[in-house]
Amino acid sequence: MAVDVHTMDLKLVREADGLAVDLLPLQGLWTETQYLTLTDQTSHLIEFTDGVIEVLPMPTDKHQAISQYLFLALLALIQRIGGKVQYAPLRIQIREGKFREPDLLVVRDAHDPRRQNRFWLGADLVVEIVSPDDSERDTKVKRADYAEIGIPEYWIVNPEDETIAVLTLAGSVYREHGLFLRGMTASSALLAGFAVTVDAVFDVS
C-alpha cells in the first residue's frame, strides 16, 4: 500500500490492483484508531490533528544524511547515560487526537514509561529537520506542539539557511538557547557534553 498526496488530492493507493480511493472528503473525520491503523501499514510519515491527516514529503538524501549524522552523534552520548534515541518514522502523541513524527526522539532513561512500543507519550529532546515544502510546520506549528507536551529541548535544523536553533522550554513556551550558524558549535542545554559543529552537520554527504 502506498499513500500519495498532491496539492488538492489525497488518495490511498493499493498497488496490487491499482485501486485509488479519494480520502479528501474524509479530512476532519478520521479517528485516532483509523490514523494508527493507517500508519501501521505504510512507511510514509503521516501526522494527525483532530481528524485531519497530513502526509509529509518523502525525505531527500540530504535530509537523511543530516538525520543520520545527528542520530549517530546523539547515540554515542545517550548509550553512555542509559538513554534511548530513535528516528522517524516513530509516532509521538502530543495529546488525544494529535500525533507528530519527529526526525529524532530522545529519552535520557531507556526505561522511561513514556517510551511505549506503538508510540511515545513524550520525550526529553526532539529534532526536526526543516522540510522546504512548509518551513512553518517545523518552526512554528511543531514548536507549539512540542511545548504543549512539555518536551524540554527542541532542535530545529534548517538546511535552507544552514542554521540550528536549540530551544529550551520555559514554562509553557520555548526560549532560544542559541541560534547556531556556520563556524559555530551547536550545544545542548539539556544533555551535558553534547555538541556538534554546524559545518559538520550541513557538509555531511
CATH number for the domain that contains residue 197: 3.90.1570.10
Residue 44 CB-half CA count within 13 A: 23
Same domain, 44 and 129: no
What is the structure's pLDDT at 14? 52
Domain end (from 32, 55, 78): 55
Give the highest mean pLDDT range of 2-11, 50-59, 95-104.
Answer: 95-104
Q: DSSP state, 88?
A: S
pLDDT at 3 over 50: no
Same domain, 75 and 93: yes
Look at residue 162 and give its three-state secondary structure: coil
What is the phi/psi pair of residue 137, to 5°?
-60, -45
Same domain, 40 and 65: no
Same domain, 78 and 95: yes
CA distances from 148 to 78, 117, 164, 169 (A): 24, 22, 21, 10
Q: Which of 104, 168, 156, 165 is CA-nearest to residue 131?
A: 156
- Who has greater pLDDT, 144 or 56? 144
CA distances from 103 to 29, 169, 174 (A): 27, 19, 19
What is the structure's pLDDT at 162? 97
Cα separation, 108 vs 172, whole angstroms:
21
Give the highest mean pLDDT range of 26-35, 55-64, 171-180.
Answer: 171-180
* Domain coverage including residue 6: 2-55
**Is-contact 1 12, C-beta < 8 A?**
yes
Same domain, 26 and 99: no
Look at residue 129 and give its three-state secondary structure: strand
Calculate what percentage of the chain has a pLDDT beyond 70: 88
- Who has greater pLDDT, 95 or 13? 95
Same domain, 51 and 68: no
Number of domains present in the structure of the chain: 2
What is the structure's pLDDT at 10? 52
What is the structure's pLDDT at 57? 86
What is the structure's pLDDT at 133? 86
Same domain, 65 and 51: no
Name the pTM for this structure.
0.84
Same domain, 45 and 66: no
- Who has greater pLDDT, 36 or 196? 196
**Is-contact 130 159, C-beta < 8 A?**
yes
Q: Which of 105, 98, 92, 89 is CA-nearest to residue 43?
A: 89
Domain end (from 16, 40, 55): 55
